[in-house]
A and B are shown apart, each in its own frame.
Chain A
């Protein structure tokens, strides 16, 4: 939605390496991850718990320091940024983030309006103007104006998550990272939020949609990256990933997705895939020891 050079990717992650802990307790969270998100594109990042999905998001947001590799946001290389430089970048509202748990991502003491327009207030937008813009984005996530004066405790989970999405939109970012945005919602609200994400995608907002549930990502994402044990094992157009998964882990994911009935595999097939995957992981680890 930003006006600068359209040909540049919004996000370019190259050979990203993130390690946690020091010396003997050192643990590899991400290994050689490369990912590009073009303007107006929606990329799904799929992986199980502990695969490094959230670490990837936090590294892009500057909340986790990269051990090595390069992260470029809208043409700006941010890998070596100091905390001041990060703050300046964040204040411009280039990248926004939507948390998984809408219960905890809104301040319980602030009204919906206060939470919604906070990114604008931080930017120094006058309150009246910020309020007007906040109102517009609330309509965009299909929430009524009369919620503005309420507290998060008086909203349903789905409404709160929509407020969180509207808050991410309000600074008109080039990229929104959504970390499991529908996992904490019931199915009706899940569909509602997914619809909103599709509308955003169609309006040209770049999204990174992180989830463990292939079914909810497929309908929204243009491309899907599969993250397995800290590495991207497969990237491709969403359709290809579903129709012709290459990596055994992807095949297992596709086979286990209950929402993709056509593609679902039998129990025996899934067991075979798990065994294959296990054997591969062992083989990968063997030379390192």
Chain B
């Protein structure tokens, strides 16, 4: 799978972008050249040698804040997506197999989560579990899980009644066998696309919670938070939101490219693509006459 993804140009680009982002997340706080919390008298300054990306409304170095916030931002977004994935996709696939009662329960739970007002839920969970970054991620993750639930359930339903699954059932395959061997490969591509989309949403939602004082606390920088505060000073620094926005976009774009690459190399289409290349290579190796339709080449 990994080798086939790297075989595609889009896959290589995606892996390149995402590795750079991951590196930024790991090393960012260490690389920050100045104290990201230090306020200075020169507020809203333009780019200079001292401050590469200028300073914000409190005179803090924007470049340092971006680097320092990269770990929280990326980890947060990934965490949100993974919580959503586990809380959504697993019940989504199993809802098709584990009988009527489980199906009914999970469907109603998903409906409830969709109907729940986001802010009320976030405040309630914070009141219940205390305020903190992991609580905020949990809230957002659980709230995006219906997306994964729906996507994986729909994809599973599409293959669950197919004859090859029934053939495996007739041969005595367990639910685990059927899912691993026949269902998972077909469900993975749409889930990967949903995952990429959720990572993008994660950045924004986590930072929007910061406004309410939930999750990441104000002096702590995040990409989404920087973007939000830059928007407030758009009249003074119209160029300022560009850099955090570009970082978020790069991450989302990389995730989407990766999701597309996963879709391209898995499933029927992907196998045909890879096999047609192999067949082409085979044909070049042993040029045998094609006799289809009575004509030879």
B35 within 8 A of A: no
Is A61 close to B, CB under 8 A? yes
Do B172 and A167 touch (CB < 8 A)?
Answer: no
> CB of A69 within 8 A of chain B?
no
A153 to B275 Cα, complex, angstroms: 11
Contact of B171 with A91 in the complex, beta carbons under 8 Å: yes
- The answer, yes or no, to whether B186 is at the interface (CB within 8 Å) is yes
Residue in contact with B275 in the complex, picked from A63, A97, A118, A154, CB distance below 8 Å:
A154
Give the segment of A32-40, A107-115, A213-221 that binds chain B. A107-115
State whether the Cβ of B46 lies closer than 8 Å to any Cβ in chain A: no
User: How many angstroms from the CA of A99 to the CA of B168 in the assembled complex?
Assistant: 12
* CB of B296 within 8 Å of the partner chain: no
Residue contact A104 to B162, C-beta cutoff 8 Å: yes
Complex Cα spacing A118 to B169, Å = 11
Q: In the complex where A109-B186, A123-B172 touch, is A167 in contact with B167 (Cβ < 8 A)?
A: yes
A97 CB → nearest B CB, Å? 5
Encode contact with B along A79-99: 1 for CB under 8 Å, 0 otherwise: 000000001111111011101
**Is B9 an interface residue, CB under 8 A from the partner?**
no
The verdict on B150 contacting chain A, using a C-beta distance below 8 Å, is no
Q: Given known contacts A109-B185, A153-B268, is B167 in contact with A87 (CB within 8 Å)? A: no
| Interface membership of B166, Cβ < 8 A | yes
Given contacts A101-B163, A105-B164, contact A96 B185 (CB under 8 A): no
A residues within 8 A CB of B271?
108-109, 151, 153
Q: Which residues of B contact A154 (CB under 8 A)?
A: 272, 275, 279
Assuming the contacts A109-B185, A122-B177, A153-B272, asked whether A104 and B171 have C-beta atoms less than 8 A apart, the reply is no
Given known A101-B163, A118-B181, contact A109–B268 (CB-CB < 8 A) = yes
In the complex, A88→B186 CA distance in Å? 27
Is there contact, CB below 8 Å, between A93 and B171? yes
> Are the CB atoms of A151 and B275 closer together than 8 Å?
yes
CB-CB under 8 A from B162, the residues of chain A are 104
With both chains docked as a complex, state the minimum distance between the C-beta of A122 and any C-beta of chain B, in angstroms.
5
Beta-carbon contact of B173 and A108 below 8 Å: no
- Contact in complex: B171, A96 (CB < 8 Å): yes
Mark each residue of chain A from 11 to 41: 1 if its CB lies under 8 Å from any CB of chain B, else 0. 0000000000000000000000000000000
- Proximity string of chain B (149-187) to chain A, C-beta cutoff 8 Å, 1 when within and 0 when not: 000000000000011101111111110010001100110
Q: How far is the CA of A154 from the CA of B280 in the complex (A)?
A: 13
Set of chain B residues within 8 Å of A90, measured between Cβ atoms: 169-172
Contact with A along B37-75 (1 / 0, CB 8 A): 000000000000000000000000000000000000000
Contact status A122-B163, CB under 8 Å = no
Are the C-beta atoms of A118 and B171 separated by less than 8 Å? Answer: yes
- Please pick, from A89, A105, A109, A171, the residue contacting B267 in the complex, using a CB distance under 8 A: A109
CA distance A93 to B167 in the complex (A): 12
Which of A89, A90, A93, A171 has most chain B Cβ within 10 Å? Answer: A90
Select one of B173, B268, B275 contacting A122, CB under 8 A: B173
**Closest Cβ neighbor of A87 among chain B residues:** B172
| Bound-state Cα–Cα, A118 to B181, Å | 10
- Given that A87-B174, A91-B172 are known contacts, is A99 also in contact with B167, CB under 8 Å in the complex? yes
Those of A27-78 within 8 Å (CB) of chain B? 61, 63
Interface centre among B162, B170, B267, B272 (most CB of A within 10 A): B170
CA distance in complex: A106, B162 (Å): 9
Assess whether A107 is in contact with B172, with CB atoms less than 8 Å apart: no
A128 to B33, CA, bound (A): 59
**Known interface pairs A107-B182, A122-B172; A97-B167 also in contact (CB < 8 Å):** yes
Nearest CB in chain A to that of B275: its residue:
A151
CB within 8 Å of A: which of B231-274? 266-268, 271-272
Chain B residue numbers with a CB within 8 Å of A101 are: 163
A255 within 8 A of B: no
Any B CB within 8 A of the CB of A119: yes
**A104, B163: Cβ atoms under 8 Å?**
yes
Complex: how many Å from CA A85 to CA B169?
13
Cβ-closest chain A residue relative to B272: A153
Task: Tell me which of A97, A104, A107, A150 contacts B170 (CB under 8 A).
Answer: A97
Q: When chains A and B are docked, how far (Å) is the Cα of A99 from the Cα of B163?
A: 8
Residue from A89, A105, A151 within 8 A of B163 (CB atoms): A105
Compute how far the CA of A166 lies from the CA of B271 in the bound complex, rounded to whole angstroms: 23
In the complex, the answer to whether A122 meets B171 with C-beta atoms within 8 Å is yes
Contacts of B171 in A (CB 8 A): 90-91, 93, 96, 118-119, 122, 171
- Ordered by A's residue number, 11 sampled pairs between the chains whose C-beta atoms are within 8 Å are A90-B169, A90-B172, A97-B170, A99-B166, A107-B182, A115-B164, A119-B172, A122-B172, A123-B172, A153-B272, A167-B167
Shortest Cβ-Cβ A-B pairs, 5 listed: A91-B172, A90-B172, A119-B171, A107-B164, A105-B163
Assuming A87-B174, A99-B167, A153-B272, what are 12 further A-B pairs, CB within 8 angstroms?
Answer: A63-B170, A89-B172, A90-B169, A96-B170, A109-B186, A109-B267, A119-B171, A122-B168, A122-B173, A151-B271, A164-B167, A167-B167
